[in-house]
Amino acid sequence: MKIAHVINTLAGGGAEKVAIQLYECLKDFDEEFIITKNIIDYKIDFKPIILLDIKKKPFYMPAFWYEKNLLKKLQNTLNGFDVIISHLRDMNTRLCYLKAKNLLKPKLIIIEQVPKDLYSKKELELIKKLYKYANVSVGVSSKVVKNLEEYEAKNIHLIENFVDIKSIETMAKEEDITLEGFSFLSMGRLSPDKDFESLIEAFKIANIEESKLHILGEGSLKNKLQKLVKGLDLENKVIFLGF
């Protein structure tokens, strides 16, 4: 059996980590890891297939032509596989579209990580129209599974994200982080859905003497959050540890 693992990028997010771990768990099969853009924040010991190399030259393509070009590349690349495992909404909907048009022959498994209340109205319309064309739909929580049922997806399964404890213990030894006093520790992508703004504001309101807030993660809101910390005069109490 030839398996393709497909995700948009390997930026430092949780779904991307799950995709890598799943790939490593299935190494007894003939498999390939395929990403749309060559954005790779994780340390990996394999070479993914990159559909669009955006780092070699200034990259700009109108959205319509980008999607058309990407769909063609996905179709040409994936039709040599028996099974496709797709991660996250943007890739799930693209591959379901190809299935709907009978342009993709392999069996398609989509993995949904996000509940519907974090999607826009436009995204939900697309999901409801296309997810039913996947052969198997996996939700990572009971809430997501319920949403998949509402989308009329087929062959739905609940499979929670797994945790590689040994790798976490190994990585923990690589950094010497001292948590002094009463410390709060939060980890996640610095993006709107994680709502670190509320966490920082609550930490200010709590005003616990000699406490510190350590934040692990990178993301699009890092500069905004750092400005918020400065504005709240918390620069010595809120520590950004990075990815």
Q: Are residues 25 and 104 in contact, defined by beta-carbon separation less than 8 angstroms?
A: no
Helix spans in the chain (H): 14-25, 63-78, 89-100, 121-130, 142-150, 165-172, 196-206, 222-231
Read off the tokens for 171. Answer: 């990585």
Q: State yes or no: pLDDT of 129 exceeds 70.
A: yes
Number of residues in the chain = 243
CA distances 114 to 117, 142, 148, Å, are 8, 11, 10
Average pLDDT, the chain: 91
Distance from the Cα of residue 236 to its chain's centroid: 31
What are the pLDDT digits (tens) for 104-127? Answer: 999 999 999 999 998 999 999 999
What are the pLDDT digits (tens) for 177-200? Answer: 777 788 999 998 898 888 999 999
Average pLDDT over residues 202-227: 92
Q: Please tell me the predicted confidence (pLDDT) of residue 162.
A: 84
CB atoms within 10 A of CB 11: 18
Burial 143-173 (b: 16+ CB within 10 A, else e): ebbebbeebebeebeeeeeeeeeeeeeeeee
> In the 8-state DSSP scheme, what is residue 125?
H
- What is the crossing angle of helices 63-78 and 89-100, to 10°? 70
d(CA 24, CA 19): 9
pTM of the prediction? 0.80
CB atoms within 10 A of CB 24: 15
Q: Please tell me the predicted confidence (pLDDT) of residue 177.
A: 73
Positive or negative CA dihedral for 1, 33, 46, 49? positive
Q: Please tell me the predicted confidence (pLDDT) of residue 61.
A: 61
φ, ψ dihedrals at 140, nearest 5°: -90, 0
